[in-house]
Amino acid sequence: MRDGLAARYPDSEVVFASKSFPCLAAYKLFAAEGLSIDVAGAGELVMALTAGVAPERIYQHGNAKTTAELTAALRAGVGCVVVDNFDDIDRLEQLATRPQHVLIRIIPGINAQTHESQATGGDDSKFGLPLDQAREAITRIRASGRLVLDGLHLHIGSQIFDIDQFAQAVEAIAVLGVFPVYDVGGGLGVRYVLQDDAPSVERYLDAITSAARAHLPAGAKLVIEPGRSLVAGSCATLYRVTTVKHTGRTFVAVDGGMADNLDVSLTGQPFGRCSRPAWPNRRTRWWTWSGGSASPATGWWPACASRRRPSGTWWRCPSPAPTPTRWPTTTTAP
Ligand SMILES: Cc1ncc(COP(=O)(O)O)c(C=O)c1O
């Protein structure tokens, strides 16, 4: 992603949206790879700093930043605060003791084609300011002795498969005038189940950079903030089967659930999975999760399933990494 963006648009930056995988090792890895880090809230800020991320490479986000969080961000010396609202401006002006670089998050009026809870760029979005209010915020910050306006920010949502919408967002952010920096957020969708037809990183970068060349002022820096598209293919969640119950239906209970995967119940997001049953015997068909939110209809990951796993171990695979070749409705355990 970083090299692909730099090759297409040299004055650019990739910021890891750390809410997609807030763990110390991820912060360390992405910082070592030369990415900046997007944090939302004090917890992510503490983790980024603990992982050794240089404060000047941190972007502080959030539409509900508390005074305590802003104080912590300013004390740490974060490179950029993304202003979401006028309260942010008031607080920053009171708290900043030295010049603080900021971006203003705007509402671009793009209704991203995704689950409604993940669409954040439509006119009624709670994130950012509509264009007329953004103009007012620009005037205020430019008049401020403490805040330095680097540019504009937007994020139209997550799990977006229609890359034209990213290009539309770049066009939308350009109407507010000339700035040194335009941060066009994250949102590239990933393949969670076999049916998902997620766009490639290359197509995404082509769309964004072509739009940037067409609509942004010459010499402007282009920033993107990918989250899930950087991490979804890197891991799987491992569960163990704890109970199997037959009550007319068969229920297979595992040692995990909502606490480690809220998306299923919040957004209906299905995940691919691979499993190997210890029950009822080793010559049975491979099994999928039972229940409406994890039904066989959502598919398998054959590449995972073909590998040997310990008996009774189930894997949730939110992973686009293996390329599925077929839909194995029945197969025999080794
Ligand atoms: C401001 C901001 N930037 C970037 C992202 C990353 O989004 P994604 O994981 O869809 O790339 C998010 C996700 O919520 C976000 O809120």
- Ligand 1 neighbourhood includes 38 CB (under 6 angstroms): yes
Q: What is the dihedral of CA 48, 49, 51, 54, to 10 degrees?
A: 90
The DSSP result for 138-174, as a single string, is HHHHHH-SSEEEEEEE---BSSB--THHHHHHHHHHG
245 C-alpha to ligand 1 centroid (Å): 39
Give the range among 71-85, 226-240, 280-294 with minimum mean pLDDT.
Answer: 280-294
Q: Which residue's CA is minimally distant from atom 16 of ligand 1?
A: 155
Query: Ligand 1: does its nearest atom lie under 6 Å from the Cβ of 60?
Result: no
Please report the pLDDT score of residue 267 as a whole number.
85
The CA distance from 259 to 257, in Å, is 6
Looking at per-residue pLDDT, the higher value among 233 and 31 belongs to 31
pLDDT at 277: 53
Q: Which two structure tokens, joined as six digits, stand for 195?
A: 């049916």
Predicted confidence (pLDDT) per residue in 123-182, tens digit: 999 999 999 999 999 999 999 999 999 999 999 999 999 999 999 999 999 999 999 999
Residues 237 and 260: beta-carbon distance below 8 Å: yes
Residue reference for tokens 């239906």: 249
Residue type, 88: D
User: Is the CATH number of domain 2-232 3.20.20.10?
Assistant: yes
pLDDT of 293 > 50? The answer is no
For residues 185 and 227, the answer to whether their CB atoms sit within 8 Å is no
Separation of alpha carbons 66 and 13, rounded Å: 27
User: Domain spans of the chain?
Assistant: 2-232, 235-317
Run of H or E including 3: helix 2-8
Query: Which residue shows structure tokens 């839909």?
Result: 327
pLDDT attached to residue 300: 44
- Distance, in Å, from the CA atom of 15 to the CA atom of 236, rounded to the nearest integer, reads 23
pLDDT at residue number 298: 42
- Name the band, by pLDDT with cuts 50, 70 and 90, for residue 333: very low
Q: State pLDDT tens for residues 90-120.
A: 999 999 999 999 999 999 999 998 888 899 9
* Mutation test residue for ligand 1: of 13, 18, 20, the one with most atoms within 8 Å of CB: 20
